[in-house]
Amino acid sequence: MTGPRARSETVEPARLERRLRLAAVLVVLGLAVEAVSFAALHAAAFFAFLAPGALLVGVGIVLYLWSIASDRG
């Protein structure tokens, strides 16, 4: 098949996978920061947990949800 529809079917999976990869990287980084934040009982550790830790995880989750919601496949 040729034309716009065929191009959409071949391009969309790659775009979706790029977004999922980015979402996964954000989640991994966020969880790593969150885990490290438990090494110390300090206000700075709490702050690190929230930002960037939880913020990265949150952006990763939103990106993942947006990716699958906007996926036309």
Partner 1 sequence: MLSIGTLFAVAVVVTVALAALIALRPELTRGRAGRVLAFVALFLLPALLTAGGLKAHMEQAKSTEFCLSCHVMEPYGESLWTEDPAYLAASHFQNRRVPRDAACYSCHTDYTMFGDVHAKVRGMRHVWVEFVTGPPPPEEIELYSPYKNRECLHCHAGARAFLENELHAEILAELRSEEMSCLDCHGDVHDVATVAERERWTAPAEVEE
Among 2, 10, 39, 41, binds partner 1 (CB under 8 A): 41
Report the C-alpha gap between 57 and 29 in whole angstroms: 8
The two three-digit tokens of residue 71, written as one number = 């996926």
Enumerate residues 6+ apart whose C-beta is below 8 A from 34. Answer: 49, 53, 54, 57
Give the integer Cα–Cα distance in Å for 69 and 37.
32
Nearest distance from residue 30's CB to partner 1, in Å?
Answer: 7
CB of 29 to partner 1, least distance (A): 9
Q: Where does this chain bind partner 1 (CB under 8 A)?
A: 13, 16-18, 20-21, 23-25, 27-28, 30-32, 34-35, 37-38, 41-47, 49-50, 53-54, 57-58, 60-61, 64-65, 68
